[in-house]
């Protein structure tokens, strides 16, 4: 089985690569590439994302044909895809970081700045936070509710359909930190930086 981590120049993804390789050992082939043919032939896809919504969308669009391939994989061929951090946010129709930017449109919704309640809550939200699992998601198999995950973000994904939300955190308000819609999975937190529980989530995705 091939699991492809999409490398589209969206910042440092070495910890994502290392974590997936650690979990996969020799059982699964982990490929890190922007090669469209390799992405197309993969069994599962990981879409990381660091930086702003706009910079990540621009970086995806800078690789000719990449968004078309990702659309085909997820929406037509229904291959499992895991979006991490901004990788999840890009599932939205639109994001408002820097400027209004069109997302991938896989899950109806928007990405807006977290309401820090006039400075009461620090932004970016950095560090460990307890997740509240509200849906029996495949990537949360054998993960306890209220587990701690590692976050770095100032923006949140607000989906129109609340049924896609698999976990939330309490930070200023109820913030979506994980979604699942058919074959599409996303985490606002960084599983690759969330210790053994994060590795378990990665393992759950690889084992789907």
User: How would DSSP label each residue in 61-98?
Assistant: HHSTTHHHHHHIIIIIS---EEEETHHHHTTSSEE-SS
Asked whether the beta carbons of 148 and 197 are under 8 A apart, the reply is yes
Active-site residue, selected from the candidate residues 97, 156, 180, 192: 192
Looking at residue 160, which CATH number applies to its domain?
3.40.50.880
Asked whether the beta carbons of 198 and 164 are under 8 A apart, the reply is no
Of 206, 186, 168, 4, the closest CA to residue 90 belongs to 186
Active-site residue, selected from the candidate residues 97, 156, 177, 190: 190
| Catalytic-residue membership of 192 | yes
Q: Provide the mean pLDDT of the chain.
A: 97
Q: What percent of the chain has pLDDT over 90?
A: 95
pLDDT at 204 (0 to 100): 98
Question: Residue 67's domain spans which residues?
Answer: 2-206
Q: Over 90: is that where the pLDDT of 12 sits?
A: no
For residue range 119-130, list pLDDT tens digits in order. Answer: 899 999 999 999
pLDDT at 171 (0 to 100): 94
| Catalytic-residue membership of 85 | yes
Q: What percent of the chain has pLDDT over 70?
A: 100
| Catalytic-residue membership of 190 | yes
Q: Over 90: is that where the pLDDT of 26 sits?
A: no
The Cα 67–Cα 40 span in angstroms is 11
The Cα 195–Cα 123 span in angstroms is 23
Average pLDDT for 22-49: 96
Active-site residue, selected from the candidate residues 85, 97, 156, 180: 85
Q: How many domains does the chain have?
A: 1
């Amino acid at each position: 089985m091939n699991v492809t981590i999409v490398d589209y120049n969206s910042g440092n993804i070495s910890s994502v690569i290392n974590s997936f390789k650690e979990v996969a050992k020799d059982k699964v082939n982990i490929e890190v590439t922007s090669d469209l043919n390799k992405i197309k032939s993969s069994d599962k896809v990981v879409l990381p994302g660091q930086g702003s919504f706009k910079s990540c969308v621009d970086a995806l669009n800078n690789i000719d044909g990449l968004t078309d391939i990702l659309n085909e994989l997820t929406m037509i061929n229904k291959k499992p895809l895991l979006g991490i951090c901004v990788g999840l946010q890009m599932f939205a129709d639109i994001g408002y970081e820097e400027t209004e930017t069109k997302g991938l449109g896989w899950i109806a919704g928007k990405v807006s700045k977290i309401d820090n309640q006039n400075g009461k809550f620090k932004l970016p939200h950095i560090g460990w936070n307890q997740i509240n699992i509200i849906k029996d998601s495949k990537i949360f198999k054998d993960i306890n509710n209220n587990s701690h995950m590692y976050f770095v973000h100032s923006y949140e994904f607000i989906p129109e359909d609340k049924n896609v939300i698999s976990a939330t955190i309490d930070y200023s308000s109820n913030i979506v930190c994980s979604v699942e819609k058919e074959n599409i999975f996303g985490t606002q937190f960084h599983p690759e930086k969330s210790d053994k529980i994060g590795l378990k989530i990665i393992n759950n995705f690889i084992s789907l």
